[in-house]
Chains A and B, each alone.
Chain A
Amino acid sequence: MSQETILEVNDLRTSFFVEGNEVKAVDGVTFDVPKGKTLGIVGESGSGKSISALSILQLIDSPGKIVGGEINFKGDNLLKYNDNQMRKIRGNQISMIFQEPMTSLNPVYTVGQQLREALKIHRGLGKEAGTEKAVELLELVGIPSPRSRVTQYPFELSGGMRQRVMIAMALACDPELLVADEPTTALDVTIQAQILELLKELQDEFDMSIIMITHDLGVVAETCDYVAVMYCGKVVEYADVNTLFKNPRHPYTVGLLNSLPRSDVDQEELEPIHGTVPAPHEMPVGCRFAPRCPFATDLCHEKLPDLEDIGDEEQVRCWIYTDEWDGDPEVKVYEPEARTTKDQ
């Protein structure tokens, strides 16, 4: 890849061990995060996108376990780090924000106490210096009258304000990478717009790289530079954001776009993806998407395709783009005009 990357995830595998069975939540995930850019990881529930994010900071709880792969952060494999080394990374060089601002802050400590914590751990700031920095951070994320906010408890703040506090906390030690796990899913749309814009501004200000985990293709289009589409624990497509929306390759990506009801154009009919996501214990042996794919052939049902490079910065996990493809050689996975939309 041509540009500098800050994080390279290679063949990451995270499994959950329940009653003697292994559920492969993340099953060989590979992606790069270019420095100063935003990588979106998009997928539906059960795709393993959140588990991938938590795996980066090794926040997987029992019965979950990272069972293989590499997470190279600036050249060092984080999976080789011990707990002590990992703690020095968390909240310092890599921080994370979560989906539920309402429950992600500790209800029994003030905003100031929670903000000071990371500053004390990673920067050794005392109470006074910590409070000053906390006020500064709250101001940075656009919280009005920040000085009076540091003594407030989370329940005294609205959801949008809490998410700003979470962002302030994540930014406390100038992280190089921010992992945002569905940061706006629980928020109203006008508040979501504020938070996404805030993240964009802060990214430019601090030259931060972001991993944006989301299920919302709108959020992806607005905030991301690159996108990894996940399905059943695997990346099925990786591309820059314009390519992905203009020329999606994987039938699953196409299916997602076609089933999305849009607010910006009129659509006659949605084209849903047929069927449902397979249960973890009945995962297909071939391509995970084959049972729902309109183009699937015998090959797809029998053999799992690899994530192959098909362009400069494009990868796709689909037999159609390989020499082994045994279906219609003229198959058109994506036809923009078929999307029955009348652009205004």
Chain B
Amino acid sequence: MTVYIIRRVLQLIPVLLGVSILVFSLMHLTPGNPAQLMAGESAPPDTIEQIEESLGLNDPLPVQYWDYISGVVQGDLGTSMRYNTPVADEVWPKFKVTLELSIYSTILSIFMGLLAGIISAVRQYSISDITIMIIALFGLSMPNFWLGLMLIQWFAVNLGWFPPTGWEGPSSIVLPVISLGTAGAAIIARMTRSSMLDVISQDYIRTARAKGVKKRVIIYKHALKNALIPVVTVAGLQFGALLAGAVLTESVFAINGMGRLLVDSIIQRDFPVVQACILIIAVVFVVVNLIVDISYKFLNKRIDLND
């Protein structure tokens, strides 16, 4: 187990290096001179030169990359071109908001998805199964910004139960989390259903029944633990996608999160911030995947350490 985790962590290094190179090249692949872009179309040449000098843009590329990566490792993500403040100060508070939103949404997805999926599987072809699967289909096909708008219309404007916008206090969290978590819940519900149906037909479930185990215990003890393996994968991917894709929901609910920051920075060509956002998202994605893989091992000891 320890060897496995060490190996997986070591494997992260080349992945992260690759990501950092990609992110770094962003700045150099975009057409035009970054210094020019920063200073504006009409800036005088010596201002541009000054900026180039201060950013080290005249150094050879490997040197620039080294400067960049050693900065990143020390927590220095560069300086925002827009605000002229350290990027870290700009990104962290917003990252925390988005992270919270993603975590709550994922928890909602997993909880609702598992519950609905299990009910569906256990009562295959029943009215509740069909209803759940129809709702899941809707949840899957509804764009989350639209769902967000509808939720605001009903529960904030018409009923006044929750505030329509913002990210302050527990009540403001409810609507964005529902709007962001629904699609995930639908995916997990469908995944859980098919995975449970597969597991329920396995020989060891029959063995458990032949032992006189209660149906409820068979479902939650014998079947669920086996059925969770593919579900965990989906939940992990879902979390990564939420983190990167929360931008629309953040806009709809006027939440000051990283999604909005990223879009704003792209529009403003604030490259250091863009780089930092992408890097953080990539790192979180990779780490979540690692956690998913490790949790496989906990769910099923049989999964080969070497794969």
Q: Which residues of A contact B (CB under 8 A)?
A: 57, 59, 61, 83, 87-92, 95-96, 98, 100, 103-109, 117-118, 121-122, 153, 155, 166, 169
Contact = CB atoms under 8 A, between A and B. Distances in A.
A153 B201 CA distance: 21
Interface majority SS on B: helix, strand, loop or mixed?
Answer: helix
A332 to B, nearest CB: 44
Nearest to B207: A104
B299 interface: yes
Interface string B224-263: 0110000000000000000000000000000000000000
B137 interface: no
Contacts of B209: 59, 90
B82 interface: no
Contacts of B215: 83
Nearest to A92: B212
The 8 closest A-B pairs by CB, nearest first: A91-B211, A90-B212, A91-B212, A103-B203, A155-B302, A106-B204, A96-B210, A118-B211
B210 A107 contact: no
A91 B300 contact: no
Contacts of A104: 203-204, 206-207
Given A89-B212, A90-B210, A95-B211, A108 B226 contact: yes
14 contacts: A57-B210, A59-B206, A83-B215, A90-B211, A91-B211, A98-B203, A103-B202, A104-B203, A106-B222, A117-B208, A117-B213, A121-B211, A122-B212, A155-B301
B212 A121 contact: yes
Contacts of B299: 108
Contacts of B207: 98, 104-106, 166, 169
Interface in B173-206: 201-204, 206
Interface of B: 201-204, 206-215, 222, 225-226, 299-302
B77 to A, nearest CB: 42
A98 B204 CA distance: 10
Contacts of A155: 301-302
Contacts of A87: 212-214
Nearest to B211: A91
Contacts of A91: 210-213
Contacts of A59: 206, 209-210
Nearest to A119: B211
Contacts of A106: 204, 207-208, 222, 226
Nearest to B300: A108
Contacts of B206: 59, 98, 104
A88 B301 contact: no
A108 B301 contact: yes
